[in-house]
Amino acid sequence: MSSKTTLRTALTVGTLLPVALGLAACGSDDSGSDSGSTTGSSSGGGGGKTIALLLPESKTARYEAQDKPGFEKALKALCADCKVIYSNADQDASKQQSQAESAITNGADVLVLDPVDAESAGAMVTRAKQSKIPVISYDRLISKAPVDYYISFDNLKVGKLQGENLVKALGTPAGKSIVMINGAPTDSNAAMFKKGAHSVLDASGVKIAKEYDTPDWSPDKAQTEMEQAITAIGKGGIDGVYAANDGTAGGAIAAMKGGGIDPTKVPVTGQDAELAGVQRILAGEQYMTVYKAPKPETEAAAKLAYALATGKPAPAGLINGKTNNGSVDVPSVLLDPVAVTKDNIKDTVVADGTYTAAQLCTGKYAKACAAAGLTGTR
């Protein structure tokens, strides 16, 4: 632990310089990056800091629906005159590189970076370091680079929960066939989900009839993969589908419907508890998802970013582990994921306030909601 102190001190001292640049840049909000935006009041001499939040893609709902608003809200609560430079890279690693560059030019004091490509993101860390700007690796681990902190979930456990629930849904897995739709090969998390899931599935006796890595986590590519699997295996030969997140589950389920497979009879996994995913679970079309509560993740990111921006150490009690990224042991905040099926929607995503019953129980979901004990507006 103490070996990190020197690095941290060196970095935090350096954060004083870019504040001045931030003030200079306040007038022009959007500096040309397509999906970049700036929110919050300018520092106005009140000591407000500038934090860049760089998220990887927009085909998965969580980033725009949960991460961005959650982070902005949490930061505002800590510091009313802090500013967020927000960018979404739309699955494009080089676009993310320019967004990081632009955030640095516009006075970011800290980068909160969720990388499109774990390996190439090291270049952004190097660039940030040149300007003495600390980097928090958000949700996905940036590999082989001197990252300051890492905030995520236990991603191996995410994969295990998916595998365990699929095995449970299959009843007697031995002799049954499944299709595996993994995440993007450029995402370090995807490898962890895959490893965790394999550790359970391989031991269960289930046959993995087809397996795909899905470029960019794209739901449409997942749909194509599932179509190919149905053609290769035959619609009667698929007993279950491992989909790494709700976006890819949505693609797989669309392919199943198009290919004559009833998704209410063939269990499909997911992750993220996105609104559409939870509604599919209510409707019986998706078996499970993994809930990674957005609030603790965005709040931890805001607290750490603010501490780093103001030259303070990580708030007490926040760091609960270390994660080696191939170059350093990164002090980490690792949160606990939870499996969600029809039975515990009420006690997880609704109890937490991530969704109200009213949000979930629209139109055709009303009846299923009543069965799941979800009534009223809260």
Min dist. Cβ of residue 175 to ligand BGC (A)? 31
- For position 297 contacting ligand BGC by CB under 6 A, the verdict is no
Query: 190-249: which residues touch ligand BGC (CB under 6 A)?
Result: 217, 245
Min dist. Cβ of residue 276 to ligand BGC (A)? 13
The structure tokens 């982070």 sit at 71
Residue 166 φ/ψ, nearest 5 degrees: -65, -45
Query: 49-68: which residues touch ligand BGC (CB under 6 A)?
Result: 57, 60, 62
CA dihedral 270, 276, 282, 285 (to 10 degrees): -60
Min dist. Cβ of residue 316 to ligand BGC (A)? 27
Min dist. Cβ of residue 91 to ligand BGC (A)? 9
In terms of C-beta density within 10 A (0-12 exposed, 13-18 middle, 19 or more buried), how is residue 45 classed?
exposed
- For position 139 contacting ligand BGC by CB under 6 A, the verdict is yes
Q: Which stretch binds ligand BGC (CB under 6 A): 173-181, 183-191, 319-327, 351-359?
A: 183-191
- Distance, in Å, from the CA atom of 225 to the CA atom of 237, rounded to the nearest integer, reads 16
**Length reported for the chain:** 378
Among 148, 164, 272, 297, binds ligand BGC (CB under 6 A): 272
Among 88, 97, 143, 189, binds ligand BGC (CB under 6 A): 189
- Distance, in Å, from the CA atom of 371 to the CA atom of 357, rounded to the nearest integer, reads 12
- Distance, in Å, from the CA atom of 135 to the CA atom of 128, rounded to the nearest integer, reads 7
Nearer to ligand BGC, 42 or 120 (CB): 120
- Distance, in Å, from the CA atom of 214 to the CA atom of 182, rounded to the nearest integer, reads 6
Residue 161 CA from chain centroid, whole number: 16
- For position 140 contacting ligand BGC by CB under 6 A, the verdict is yes
Among 164, 187, 239, 285, binds ligand BGC (CB under 6 A): 187
Instruction: Give the count of residues interacting with ligand BGC (CB under 6 A).
Output: 12
Among 271, 289, 323, 354, binds ligand BGC (CB under 6 A): 271
- Distance, in Å, from the CA atom of 48 to the CA atom of 52, rounded to the nearest integer, reads 13
